[in-house]
Structure formats: structure tokens, C-alpha cells
Amino acid sequence: LIQVEDDRTGLSVETLKRALADNLFYLQGKFPAIATKNDCYMALAYTIRDRLLQRWLNTFQTYLNCDNRVVCYLSAEYLLGPHLGNNLINLGLWEPVQQAVEESGLSLDELIDIEEEPGLGNGGLGRLAACFMDSLATLEIPAIGYGIRYEFGIFDQEIKDGWQVEITDKWLQLGNPWEIARPESAVLVKLGGHTEPYTDDQGNYRVRWIAGSLVKGIPYDTPILGYKVSTANNLRLWKSEAAESFDFQRFNVGDYYGAVQDKMSSENLTKVLYPNDEQIQGKELRLAQQYFFVSCSLQDMIRIHLSDNPTLENFHEHFAVQMNDTHPSIAVAELMRLLVDEHHYEWQRAWAITEATFGFTNHTLLPEALEKWSLPLFGEMLPRHLEIIYEINQRFLDQVRMKYPNDGDRLARLSIIDEAGEKSVRMAYLATVGSHAINGVAALHSQLVKETILKDFYELWPEKFSNKTNGVTPRRWMVLSNPRLSNLISSRIGDGWIKNLDELKQLEPFADLAGFRQDWCKVKREVKQDLARYIHTRTDLVVNPDSLFDVQVKRIHEYKRQHLNILHVIHLYLQIKNNPNLDVTPRTFIYGGKAAPGYFTAKLIIKLINSVADVVNNDPTIGDRLKVIFLPDYNVKFGQRVYPAADLSEQISTAGKEASGTGNMKFSMNGALTIGTLDGANIEIREEVGAENFFLFGLTTPEVEKTLAEGYQPWEYYNNNANLKAVVDLINSGFFSHGDTALFRPLMDSLLGQDPYLVFADFQAYVDCQNQVGEAYKDQENWARMAILNVARMGKFSSDRTIREYAEDIWAIKPVVIELED
Ligand code: 26M
């Protein structure tokens, strides 16, 4: 008997090769001689997609037919990064596919590198959502991710003459093999118009919303695989289109151009991701995006629920809905509207269901980032929701009044409607009132949430508040991005750590073995060599792989203090210039990150880094001792190259400002040591890896607050610190700007004037700490020892741990095993 494997599911090398050729011919319409690299990538991607479809469908079927709760993650952003490599790892198909690809005359690494990454997020918040989807699937937790299918994701960054230039991200232009459109599951979303009271047949008072316009939401589904399990959860992203019925009306009365106009504005809704760190308040389109994806998602859940339940009475037993920051917080009012207006539930019953359904995660305390929508704008677009929010607020404030009689100040402080100045809806308050659980993303941050922005709510409901320290997925951030290190680790302790990161603890004793340290350093050297080669191809710069790779990659923002970092570089440069024979540890400073297009100071920081790089890299007295690289277009793909190669991780935000950070975890997991402040998750990382394996500096959160309260005087630091003065004077002299003394003036003036991020206050402590780093690096044996201990003790920071905590404490949800019969 000859057994022939199915071309679409077979896993042998021969079958994989046949499938590749087949897909190239029938899907791309090419034969090998005329195929582009992208054609080959597409053929491979479809080959892999074929092999995961059964899991995806089985997962879907299993969830429909079981009584388990499903978690719905609502996020305006998913920063997924490329799928292909990750899916190969999670399917356990790396080796046979690599062989099949090579025997077909192609290179797997090259094909993986061709994939355009879906950059549907700004930074930490969107990447966290992606790590969570990976962990949910790996833990076999029933989950749906809901979001927006932006046609243009986060912009591509180019550097021209040292300045950031933004380019549209056309990630879909060559097609997306990972998604399947489901137009049959489209839903309609109303916008604008007005409301009308009416009395129904039974004499009940009701309200109907007569929309001004209607948009159609089309779901696009992408499978999210778990690691070596059969679960493939669904990520459902919504695209807006014109609702035909509306257009046809216009068309029928002869207004063809009007109809086309409507169609275009409907399609605009999901065109572009807003780059955050920018004032988005008052941007109508942004509120429309938020409402659109929330309404689509809740309607989708209700449809799923009613497919095997008679009523929505038990909706909350079926779905746990988590709001990723306030971006989806309109969901509280929308679920109330659907329950009360459309399904005729009594207010109290609807409210109980709503509260039991939602959880809310806060990701920032920065006042400029807290979402508020002005009442006129809000009422114009969502008239019914505004009424519902008034009602929610009134009932809520009645409750407060009962508990705290005669406390008008407290009522004003707690009100969902901000009555001071331009009246607005405070979205964090709406999310808090409508949720049974509210959490921050690191221990310090969760504490600050309770003490600052949600203090009065915490007093009211202390039991609703908890901490869920962030984590990252070790599949993408170790196995995929750092195969050399992963293989070394697995060669000693097996590969159980990939699913149970706490097993990395077993590496601890190896830190004391000289032989292991040697292997460790060899791997590090190779990985750094890889990055050096990549930097060379991208920038033409030659970097020394034996120098200390000192890396800061993240969005550019004053609170993250990339300028503190570059001030230190200039300080080192001056030291060498003043003493050309100085024995400093050779360093390569690597920066990456995007500035919000409208954030002038952040853009000027990029210009400063590039200007310093120009001078330092071309100064012969410096030679190999200092190199400064700004790698353009930092994204997930580049993150995967840079975390493994770093020796030093820069986590230097002003204490109290970085909610958690997740890059800090990726670095440390890959054996970089951290120089950092007591901020966000740095605090917990230091606790885990040991204070002796972490370079700590800077003011603490209470010290920051005290310094600011007492009237911070940056001038005093400048005047009293010769090192700092020399650095600032050099910048102001035009040394890095071809004599232009005005160029960096705005940045220097803000540092000298009223800098709320206390750069000068932390400068000397940072320089001193960096000197310790430089000294420590000279002892390579001990450095390797510290690096190994960092990796061995990072178990806590797997997003698997984070998701387990959410599942137990907030969602009350259990795993469901997916069967994959042969
Ligand atoms: C908006 C306007 C002006 C300036 C800044 C903003 C802004 C800042 C932060 C808007 C949104 C912001 O927060 C969202 C966010 O991405 N937060 C990040 O979430 C990560 C995942 O929890 C954390 O690791 C990061 O510390 C946190 O910054």
C-alpha cells in the first residue's frame, strides 16, 4: 500500500516541497524561473496556513460547543510583528520546512525576512496585546482578540539629514496571506443623528436612536497559534466599508457623487492608526474608530451568544471582556445601549451584566495621555451614548452621595463628566465605573493608580483594584529571535523552559562553570557579530563586536529620557578629547525609536543623537572607542535582532513615569544587564535578578515628587556640575550643528528651564553608574556570570504568568483542550 500525504496537510519534506511549488503556481501564478522573493514567501506562507487551518476550525467549533467562558480582548492596537517564523515555531515545523525550503533552492531566513510586519500599534501597549494573544493560545484559554484592521499601520521612519521623516506604512500592498475576510459576518454601526423617546406596545418608555449615517464592519480573521498545542485562537480585526443600503437610496434619487462621497468617508474610518503620544483629543475620526470597533465586536459577541442561548441574561457568564486602556471604554455605554434599547432589559439588570462583563487595564498616568472627549463632539457623534453616560453617572453619583453626604468636592472629583473648563467625558472614569476589575501593569504603577488618578474610586471600591505585572512571550522574544542562546540553554536544561519559563532557574548553577560561561560568551559574540553585519548593510558603519553594546530602543519621549543617554555619550566624548589616552571601555551606543509626528521635542532629540553620531563616529582621536548609531525605523523585526545582541539595556525613565516597560524584560531575558531607575517593572526585575546584577541609579518616585514640589532648579545642577556644564555648553556652542547655536536651543532651554523629567537632577548619578558599568565590563567572566543569572531569574516575566493571573483573578476562566484527530 502506498500512502500519499495530502499536499495541504502533509508534513514530510517531500510533501512540503510539492506544496510550495504548487502554491507558487496556483496561488501566485508563477513558476520558479520568474518568481520574485515575495512570490516564494507567499507560497511558503500559504503552505503553512494550510497546515494550521484544521486547528483554527477545530478551536472555533470546540468553543461553540462548550460551556466555558471566552475572554474577549478589546484593543485598538496589536503590534504583532511578522507571523511566518513564529508560526513555524509554534507548529514545531521549523526543521522540515527549513529543509524543504533549502532543497527548493531558497533560504528560510531570507523568506522570513521578506514579510512586511503588521505594525498595527504604537509601542508597548500594542505589543503587549500581541504577547497576550500568544500566551492565551499557549495556555489553551478560549479567547478572541478584537481590534481594527488599519490599512496603514504605524508610519515607517526614515532619517534625512538627521531628522525623522514619516512614510506611509503600506503593509497590505503585496497581499496578506494570514488573514481571511468574512464578509458574511459583517455588522452595521450607526453614527450621528438624534434620539427619540417612544412608548412601546406594552406601554414602556423607550428611546430609539435615529442614525445620521451607517457604516459596515467587515471582519478579517487571523489565526493565533499556541506553542505546541492544538489551539489556534482568532484575532478578529474590523475594516469599515460603506453600508450599501444607504448609498443605494442616494443613488436612486440620482445623487451618484453624494453616494460615492459617503462610500469614501465610510472607508476612511479604518484607514490609519493614530500615532500616540500626540494630542488626539478633539480628533473626531479617532472617536469614530473606537466606537466602530467596539460596536462591531460587541454585536459579534451577542450574535455568538444568541446562537446557543435563548437570552442575554447570562452574557457575562459566557464572555469576559478586557479593555486594553481607555481606547475601547465606550464599550460600557454600548453594551448598556444594546441591552436596554435593543434587547429591552431593565436598567439595573443590564448594569449588573455590564459590570460583571468588563475589566479595565490602565497603561499610563501621564495627564496628557488620559482620554477626554468634549461633550459637543461626543454628543454629535454618539447622542444616545451621551444620554446613557449621563444616566450611568447620575446613578453612580447617587451612590456616592449616600456614602459621603455633603461632600460636593468629592462628587465633582468622581463625576464621569468633567465640569471644569470645556465639559468633557473622562473615559478612564467610565471604564472604572463600568468594570468589576481595574488593574495597573506593574507593582509601582498599580500603587500609583490607586494613589493618584483613581484615588477616589479606590476609596470607594478597594476590592476592584489589583496589579498584573506585564510579561512578554518567550516564544518570539527568545526562541525565534535568539536561536543560538535558546539552543545553548536547552542543551543544558532541556526545552521545558519555553512553556514554563520558571525552569530557567535551573541555569543558575551553570553561572559558576567556567566552561558554560565560555560557551555563553561565544554565543553572545556571534549574535553581536550578526547585528554588526546588519548595521553595516543598513548604515555602512563598521562597529566593533567586542565593544560594549549599549542599547536604548523604544518610542522617543522626554519621560523615557533618550536625551539623558546622549548627554552621557557627549560626556564620554569630552573625557576622551581631554585625555586622548584615557582607558575607557569601548562602547557602541545603539538607538532606535519613532517620535510622534507632531512631537517637536522628541524629533529634536533624534536630530541631536544623529548630530552627535556624525561628529563622534568621524573623529579620528576617538577611533574604535565610541560609536553612535541611530537605526532608523525601529519595529518588531528590528527588536528581534537587537535584544539578543545587547550587553546593556537602557531603562532610564524618570521614576513614576514608565507604567511598566516590556523592552526591559526582553533585554534581560536575552542576557543584557540593565542600567535603570526604580520605575515600572524595573523594580521587579531588579528584585528577581538580584540588586548585585543590576545597575541602579537616580531619584525614587517620592524624591521626584519632592524635588518638583520644592521648585526644581535645573540651573543649580548646571552651575554646580562641571561635567554637566561642559556638555551643555558644547551643544549650545554649535559644536554638533556646524556652528548653528540655535538648533538645539529649545531642547537645552527646556532642560535648563522647567524640565518635569529631571534630566539634570539625575545626570551625575547616571554618569557615575555608567562608570561602574564600564569597569564591570572589563571583567568579562563576571559580566557573563551576571548575564547568566539575569536570564536564569527572568521566569516571572513570561506573559504566560501574566495571563494566568488575569485568567484566575479577573476572568475566572479555565483552559479548554483542542483535539486534533488524525
Ligand atoms: C499621549 C499624548 C501625549 C504624550 C503621551 C501620550 C501617551 C503616552 C502613553 C499616550 C498613551 C500612552 O500610553 C499607552 C501605552 O502605550 N502605555 C504603555 O503600555 C505598556 C504596556 O503596558 C507599558 O509597558 C508602558 O510602560 C506604557 O507606557
- pLDDT, tens digit, 9 for 90 and up, residues 598-647: 999 999 999 999 999 999 999 999 999 999 999 999 999 999 999 999 99
Is the C-beta atom of 662 inside 6 A of ligand 1?
yes
- pLDDT, tens digit, 9 for 90 and up, residues 441-459: 999 999 999 999 999 999 9
- pLDDT, tens digit, 9 for 90 and up, residues 217-227: 999 999 999 99
Is the C-beta atom of 601 inside 6 A of ligand 1?
no
Distance between CA atoms of residues 409 and 401, nearest Å: 11
- Give the closest residue to 750 by CA, choosing from 608, 538, 554: 608
Asked, colleague to colleague, whether 67-82+117-468 and 544-791 share their fold, the answer is yes
Could you give the residue ranges of the DSSP H alpha helices within 1-159?
A: 13-26, 37-64, 84-91, 94-103, 108-114, 124-138
Which one from 666, 686, 785, 796 is the annotated catalytic residue?
A: 666
| pLDDT greater than 90 at residue 264 | no
Residue 758 CA to ligand 1 centre (angstroms): 19
Q: Which helix (H) or strand (E) holds 120?
A: strand 119-120
- Of 3.30.1280.10, 3.90.1150.10, 3.40.50.2000, 2.40.160.20, the CATH number of 544-791 is 3.40.50.2000
Sort 726 into a burial class: Cβ within 10 Å, 0-12 / 13-18 / 19+.
Answer: middle
- Cα–chain-centroid distance for residue 80? 8
Is the C-beta atom of 157 inside 6 A of ligand 1?
no
- Let me know if 554 is a catalytic residue: yes
* All cell numbers assigned to 766: 547616571
**How many Cβ atoms sit within 10 Å of the Cβ of residue 195?**
15
Q: Looking at residue 258, what is its pLDDT?
A: 77
Residue 380 CA to ligand 1 centre (angstroms): 28
Question: Residues 6 or more apart from 778 whose CB is under 8 A from it?
Answer: 585
Architecture of the domain delimited by 67-82+117-468: 3-Layer(aba) Sandwich (3.40)
| pLDDT greater than 60 at residue 571 | yes
**801-817 average pLDDT score:** 98
- pLDDT, tens digit, 9 for 90 and up, residues 696-708: 999 999 999 999 9
The upper half-sphere exposure of residue 235, i.e. CA atoms within 13 Å in the direction of its Cβ, equals 27
The upper half-sphere exposure of residue 492, i.e. CA atoms within 13 Å in the direction of its Cβ, equals 21
- Give the closest residue to 731 by CA, choosing from 608, 565, 560: 608
Q: Looking at residue 278, what is its pLDDT?
A: 62
Handedness of CA 786, 788, 790, 793 (dihedral sign): negative
Distance between CA atoms of residues 529 and 523, nearest Å: 10
At residue 654, φ and ψ (nearest 5 deg) are -60, 130
Among 362, 363, 594, residue to substitute to test ligand 1 (most atoms within 8 Å of Cβ): 363
Q: How is the chain split into domains, by residue range?
A: 67-82+117-468, 544-791
Is the C-beta atom of 470 inside 6 A of ligand 1?
yes
**298-323 average pLDDT score:** 97
SS3 12: coil
Q: What is the number of helices (H) and of strands (E) in the chain?
A: 33, 25
- Let me know if 662 is a catalytic residue: yes
The upper half-sphere exposure of residue 92, i.e. CA atoms within 13 Å in the direction of its Cβ, equals 9
- Let me know if 725 is a catalytic residue: no
Q: Looking at residue 2, what is its pLDDT?
A: 64
With cut-offs at 50, 70 and 90, classify the pLDDT of residue 334: very high
- Let me know if 413 is a catalytic residue: no
Distance between CA atoms of residues 607 and 632, nearest Å: 12
The answer to whether the beta carbons of residues 717 and 724 sit under 8 Å apart is yes
- Cα–chain-centroid distance for residue 712? 33
Tell me what percent of the residues of the chain surpass a pLDDT of 70. Answer: 98
**731-738 average pLDDT score:** 98
* Mean pLDDT, the chain, whole residue set: 96
With cut-offs at 50, 70 and 90, classify the pLDDT of residue 185: very high
Is the C-beta atom of 774 inside 6 A of ligand 1?
no
Q: Looking at residue 629, what is its pLDDT?
A: 98
With cut-offs at 50, 70 and 90, classify the pLDDT of residue 397: very high
- Let me know if 555 is a catalytic residue: yes
Q: Looking at residue 259, what is its pLDDT?
A: 76
Is the C-beta atom of 361 inside 6 A of ligand 1?
no
- pLDDT, tens digit, 9 for 90 and up, residues 380-393: 999 999 999 999 99
Q: Which ligand 1 atom is at minimum distance from the Cα of 680?
A: 26
- Let me know if 343 is a catalytic residue: no
Q: Looking at residue 481, what is its pLDDT?
A: 98
With cut-offs at 50, 70 and 90, classify the pLDDT of residue 245: low
Is the C-beta atom of 656 inside 6 A of ligand 1?
no
With cut-offs at 50, 70 and 90, classify the pLDDT of residue 247: low
SS3 95: helix
| pLDDT greater than 60 at residue 822 | no
| pLDDT greater than 90 at residue 737 | yes
| pLDDT greater than 90 at residue 680 | yes
Assign residue 594 a region (left: φ > 0; alpha: ψ between -120 and 50; beta: otherwise). beta
Which one from 231, 662, 701, 802 is the annotated catalytic residue?
A: 662
Residue 327 CA to ligand 1 centre (angstroms): 12
If you take atom 13 of ligand 1, which residue's CA is the nearest one?
364
- Give the closest residue to 750 by CA, choosing from 607, 556, 552, 558: 558
With cut-offs at 50, 70 and 90, classify the pLDDT of residue 282: low
Among 77, 364, 652, residue to substitute to test ligand 1 (most atoms within 8 Å of Cβ): 364
- pLDDT, tens digit, 9 for 90 and up, residues 13-67: 999 999 999 999 999 999 999 999 999 999 999 999 999 999 999 999 999 888 8
**500-504 average pLDDT score:** 98
| pLDDT greater than 80 at residue 251 | no
Among 125, 127, 652, residue to substitute to test ligand 1 (most atoms within 8 Å of Cβ): 125
| pLDDT greater than 90 at residue 421 | no
Which one from 555, 561, 568, 793 is the annotated catalytic residue?
A: 555
